[in-house]
């Protein structure tokens, strides 16, 4: 008769308050199922987190590792900017990034995510800069339903509630709503409506953005499969991309979220967008299965 399963080791981390349970699955360890994800993410009976991140063997030549993302409800996700920085910090502490970083010459290394390959740079202050790729405004690739071409402002009427928003993919779908006061933004009422609308067949992360100055915005994000988070890295990238397209902000912007500040830069429309911010270890633990 088989004995009890070995404890599952994990790291608890956060990036600007967006928190994660990190599991090392390199070597072919089984992925967490939806039930385990929900149990780990539970803030009362589990570890507590917004998402579970799994460190896995690399998918592309020269990458240090790959990672996958599991939301608190057990569903999968394609991209997580704050999670990418935490994975980078985890790999640096683990030592896996050292050889790749040294061979690159500029201190960078690469990781693979469900959305593609990302270059990473350690900033020396506990922070990391991640190449997040190019924003994609094509409705079919966000994906959105019912639209054949890009619009600066999409409008939907859901249960007699009219919602105007910008939309972009950062490897995952985002809706961005401009507001005058982010503190008063109706996240709990508007975001679920938009996430469940026919416009977003795969749901979407919904960001509420307030422009403070040409080089500064405030942002709150209601993530699919999670709810409101203290920070959302891909959401910060999406908000900046939409607002740059509208000519409202510059191309190097500080984004203030409830959990901290991120720096987003998009040099020009043909360039990739980068995100810089903190990554912190909270504690190490074992989950008794």
Q: Which two tokens stand for residue 31?
A: 């992925």
Q: How far apart are CA 64 and CA 57, in angstroms?
A: 8
CATH number of 50's domain: 3.10.310.10
Q: Is 232 a catalytic site residue?
A: yes
**pLDDT surpassing 70 at residue 237:** yes
**pLDDT for 1 beyond 60:** no
Q: Lowest mean pLDDT: which of 31-40, 68-77, 96-105?
A: 96-105
What is the mean predicted confidence (pLDDT) over 66-70?
97
Q: What is the mean pLDDT of residues 225-235?
A: 94
Residue 284 has pLDDT above 70, yes or no: yes
pLDDT of residue 103: 56
pLDDT reported for residue 16: 95
Is residue 49 in a domain? yes
If pLDDT is split at 50, 70 and 90, which confidence band does 289 have?
confident
Range of the domain at 127: 8-132+279-287
pLDDT for res 107: 74
Is it the case that residue 104 has pLDDT exceeding 60? no
First and final CA of the chain: distance in angstroms?
17
**Please, are residues 60 and 117 in contact by the beta-carbon 8 Å criterion?**
yes
Pairing of strands 108-113, 65-71: parallel
Domain match, 115 and 220 both: no
Alpha-carbon distance of 268 to 19, in angstroms, equals 31
86 is catalytic: no
Active-site residue identified among 37, 49, 80, 86: 80
Whether 1 is in a domain gets the answer no
Return the SS3 of 62: coil
Q: Is 207 inside any structural domain? A: yes
In this prediction, residues 107-133 reach a mean pLDDT of 92
288 assigned binding-site residue:
no
124: phi > 0 → left, psi -120 to 50 → alpha, else beta; which?
left
The answer to whether residues 263 and 143 belong to one domain is: yes
| Residue 146 marked ligand-binding | no
Could you tell me if 147 and 175 are in contact, meaning their C-beta atoms sit under 8 angstroms apart? no
Domain-embedded: residue 196: yes
Marked catalytic residue, from 37, 49, 86, 232: 232
Annotated ligand binding at 17? The verdict is no
Rounded Cα distance between 192 and 224, Å, is: 9
pLDDT at 258: 97
Q: What is the pLDDT of residues 163-189, one digit of tens each?
A: 999 999 999 999 999 999 999 999 999
Kindly state whether residue 53 falls inside one of the protein's structural domains: yes
């Amino acid at each position: 008769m088989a004995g009890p399963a070995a404890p599952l080791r994990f790291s608890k981390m956060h990036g600007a308050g967006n928190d994660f349970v990190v599991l090392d699955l390199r070597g072919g360890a089984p992925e967490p199922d939806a039930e385990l994800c929900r149990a780990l993410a539970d803030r009362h009976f589990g570890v507590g987190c917004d998402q579970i991140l799994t460190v896995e063997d690399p998918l592309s030549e020269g990458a240090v590792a790959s990672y996958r993302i599991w939301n608190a409800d057990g569903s999968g996700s394609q991209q997580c900017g704050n999670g990418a920085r935490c994975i980078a910090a985890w790999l640096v502490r683990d030592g896996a990034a050292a050889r790749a970083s040294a061979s690159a010459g500029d201190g960078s290394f690469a990781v693979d995510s469900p959305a593609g390959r990302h270059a990473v740079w350690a900033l020396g202050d506990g922070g990391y800069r991640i190449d997040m790729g190019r924003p994609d405004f094509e409705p079919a690739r966000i994906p959105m339903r019912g639209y054949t071409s890009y619009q600066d402002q999409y409008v939907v009427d859901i249960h007699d509630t009219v919602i105007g928003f910008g939309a972009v993919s950062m490897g995952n779908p985002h809706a961005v709503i401009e507001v005058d006061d982010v503190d008063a933004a109706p996240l709990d009422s508007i975001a679920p409506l938009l996430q469940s609308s026919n416009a977003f067949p795969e749901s979407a992360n919904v960001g509420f953005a307030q422009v403070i100055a040409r080089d500064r915005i405030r942002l709150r994000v209601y993530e699919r499969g999670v709810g409101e988070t203290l920070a959302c890295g891909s959401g910060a990238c999406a908000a900046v991309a939409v607002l740059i397209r509208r000519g409202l902000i510059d191309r190097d912007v500080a984004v203030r979220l409830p959990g901290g500040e991120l720096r987003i830069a998009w040099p020009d429309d043909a360039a990739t967008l980068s995100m810089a911010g903190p990554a912190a270890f909270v504690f190490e633990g074992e989950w008794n299965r």
